[in-house]
Amino acid sequence: MWVYEKKLQYPVRVSKCDPRMAKYLIEQYGGADGELAAALRYLNQRYTIPDKVIGLLTDIGTEEFAHLEMIATMVYKLTKDATVEQLKEAGLGDHYANHDRALFYNNAAGVPWTAAYIQAKGDPIADLYEDIAAEEKARATYQWLIDMTDDVDLQDSLKFLREREVVHSQRFREAVEILKMERDRKQIF
């Protein structure tokens, strides 16, 4: 069960009218390394992972949904007042034909999200290594998104999200260390 707080994890301010940036930001919404994929991956893996790291997957998976909301807010602000002509110029004509200005879970190239992006292998080490890789890929995506806008307010929110990927990666690496420890092994001499 979840408790919802009706506020964003970190403020999202968008100062530049730039519908094209919305097209790029959608990569983190419905892309292979996006927040939706991350949240669903972690919250699903936690059922079959050793007890010691279930809480970590719950916490991080939940936070990914908070990040998803931030991305959604950015995309919405960048597109809600765009004319159809502006959307077409921004490369969002294909999107408008299918979705109007509604958000949808697809990547920057318009490919819809698929569960094939994520894995639950059942092997704790394999799953955690996938999670670490996912965090590093999301960190890289945020870097390229920061590179692609000159809106300092948008950059500020994206830098926050990038830092969270760094922290999550650290915690998953620690989870691997916890599972490698032999503390609970029966000592028989």
Partner 1 sequence: MKAFTQTRVWYPFIGPFDPCPPIRVKTYSTPPQLFLGFQPPQLPQNSLPEALRQGTLWPALYSPYEPQP
Binding letters toward partner 1, positions 7-46, x by CB under 8 A: ---x------------------------------------
Report the residue number, 82 or 128, with the smaller CB distance to partner 1.
128
Tokens 């979840």 belong to residue = 2
Please name which of 21, 10, 157, 6 lies closest in space to residue 76, comparing C-alpha atoms. 21
List phi, psi (to 5°) of 118. -120, 165
Active site residue 95: no
Q: Give dist(CA 26, CA 63) in Å, integer.
A: 18
- Quick check: is 168 catalytic? yes
| Identified catalytic residue from 27, 63, 64, 130 | 64
Binding mask 104-143 for partner 1 (x = CB under 8 A): -----------------------------------xx-xx
Closest contact distance (angstroms) between CB of 139 and partner 1 is 7
Structure token digits, residue 171: 């915690």
CB 19 within 8 A of CB 87: yes
Q: How far apart are CA 54 and CA 46, in angstroms?
A: 5
Q: Assess 184 for contact with partner 1 (CB under 8 A).
A: no
Q: Counting runs of H as helices and runs of E as strands, what totals does the chain give?
A: 8, 0
Q: Does 160 bind partner 1 (CB under 8 A)?
A: yes
Tokens matching residue 158: 């994206």
Q: Could you list the active site residues?
A: 35, 64, 67, 135, 165, 168
Interface residues toward partner 1, by CB under 8 A: 10, 139-140, 142-143, 146-147, 149-150, 155, 159-164, 166-167, 169-170, 173-174, 177
